[in-house]
Amino acid sequence: MSLWYIVSVGGESLYFEYEKNETDYLKSRDKLLGEAIDKIGHINRRVNKDIFSSVIYHIIGQQISTSAQATVWNRLHEKTGAVNAESILALSKEELQSIGITFKKVDYIHNFAVKVKSKELDLDSLHLLSDENVIKTLSSLKGIGVWTAEMIMLFCMQRRDIVSYGDLAILRGMRMLYHHRKIDKKMFMKYTRRYKPYGSVASLYLWAIAGGAIPEMRDYAPKRKG
Matching CATH number, 18-43+162-210, of 1.10.1670.40, 3.30.379.10, 1.10.645.10, 3.20.20.450 = 1.10.1670.40
Report whether 26 contacts 34 (CB < 8 A): yes
Q: What average pLDDT score do residues 201-223 get?
A: 96
Report whether 49 contacts 155 (CB < 8 A): no
> pLDDT tens digits, residue range 138-168?
999 999 999 999 999 999 999 999 999 999 9
Predicted confidence band of residue 216 (pLDDT cuts 50, 70, 90): very high
Q: What average pLDDT score do residues 199-218 get?
A: 97
Q: Is the per-residue pLDDT at 111 higher than 70?
A: yes
Q: Is the per-residue pLDDT at 87 higher than 60?
A: yes
Name the average pLDDT for the chain: 92
How far apart are alpha carbons 56 and 110 in whole angstroms?
A: 10
In the beta sheet, which residues pair with residue 47? 14
> pLDDT tens digits, residue range 3-22?
333 333 334 458 999 999 99
Locate the domains of the chain by residue range: 18-43+162-210, 50-155
| Exposure class string for 150-188: b at 16+ Cβ within 10 A, else e | bbbbbbbbbbbbbbbbebebbbbbbbbbeebeebeeeeb
Q: What average pLDDT score do residues 171-178 get?
A: 98
* Least confident range of 23-27, 34-38, 58-62, 173-177: 58-62
Q: What is the pLDDT of residue 226?
A: 56
More confident residue, 4 or 50: 50
Beta strand extents in the chain (DSSP E only): 14-15, 46-47
* Its pTM surpasses 0.95: no
| Strand pairing class (46-47; 14-15) | antiparallel
Q: What is the pLDDT of residue 14?
A: 87
The single-letter DSSP state of residue 50 is -
CATH number of 50-155: 1.10.340.30
Q: What is the pLDDT of residue 62?
A: 87
